[in-house]
Structure 1
């Protein structure tokens, strides 16, 4: 008996909720590369993505997806995505898989 069956026995009236998926197929791809750079602020490493020329809403969706996949904190300010930690290589691979051109700056 697996865990799902045990939970169904304990809570017979509970209904499973479907997983929410973020659709990124509608994100506008650009010709210019997105710049991925590394900085330290107050002694802590951060990764900054900038140079996206599409809609702000698309860039916010992309920021949320990156933060969710990496399980890290971050923010979207002044048309820049700021991710806590040094995740340049991972983020660059994710963006290349989506079809973006990415340029690494610094270090």
Structure 2
């Protein structure tokens, strides 16, 4: 039996971390913050002909980034996702997103696109 073998899923807590054996939401071994300069870069990309606003550079843990993403989606009244350390908002909402991030105290720069 290897060192990291053990419980990987619990019906009570869901997926378990193989290292610290805590629920993924309460994992203590992967509590490192993402690296970056802390400047929120708000860019625009075209995907299948439609605009997507992408926010990168935020130094937040996964839970805080997910919460912020949900709040921005609600503010814009649109869909989106949080993945790979960035927030994606569907539609042309760059000015709204930039204003909200600045209001929350983030340093904001307009990205390309």
> What TM-score does the superposition give when structure 1 sets the normalisation length?
0.68
Structure 2 gaps of 5+ residues are: 1-35
4+ residue runs of structure 1 moved beyond 4 angstroms?
none
Alpha-carbon separation, structure 1, partners of 2:102 and 2:37: 13
Alpha-carbon separation, structure 2, partners of 1:56 and 1:48: 16
Q: Is the 8 A contact 1:34 1:50 kept in 2?
A: yes
- Determine the structure 1 residue equivalent to 2:61: 55
> What TM-score does the superposition give when structure 2 sets the normalisation length?
0.65
The structure carrying a bigger helix percent of its residues is: 1
Q: Which protein has greater RCO, CA pairs closer than 8 Å, 6+ apart?
A: 1
Larger Cα-atom Rg: 1
Structure 1 SS opposite 2:92? coil
State the shift of 1:32 in Å: 2.5
Structure 2 SS opposite 1:52? coil
Structure 1 gaps of 5+ residues are: 1-29
Question: Cα RMSD between the aligned structures?
Answer: 1.5
